[in-house]
Structure 1
């Protein structure tokens, strides 16, 4: 994998990062949160309130990857 993501987007506190390795894409999902000290961190654990945005990010990632792979075939 390269050091830079192929594409990255965010819905609310959920971020989807798409990585390209040759012609293969993978998606990393994370959720941002603020600690009691005010520091921003991220986690790959999602609560019930996050799931709709996780689903929306998954759909958006699938659409992006589909468009990219359709352009190369």
Structure 2
């Protein structure tokens, strides 16, 4: 049986519990990038993630999104 390979982000930026994952997609018109953002937290013994952010997360969210934007433009082919 063939082993499935899960796509991985090409880059991640993280500050504290807030992270941005940058994904690369090849299209008919060239390489495109998408960004997903999340906040990680511990629930008992398990690590989980959410796309919900509190007031105190917003500055970190803005920072990781800004750095993701910079990374994409610096690494565009």
Unaligned runs of 5+ in 2: 1-5
Deviations 1:4-49 (A, max 9, x none): 21101210100110000011100000001111x2321100000101
**In structure 2, C-alpha distance between the alignment counterparts of 1:28 and 1:34, rounded to whole Å:** 20
Question: Which structure dedicates a bigger proportion of its chain to strand?
Answer: 2
Q: Give the unaligned 5+ runs of structure 1.
A: none
- The structure with more helix, counted as a fraction of residues: 1
Runs of 4+ more than 2 Å apart: none
Q: Which residue of 2 aligns with 1:32?
A: 40
Provide the aligned C-alpha RMSD in A. 1.2
**Could you report, residue by residue, the CA deviation over 1:29-71 in whole angstroms, capped at 9, with x for unpaired residues?**
0001111x232110000010100000000110000000011xx
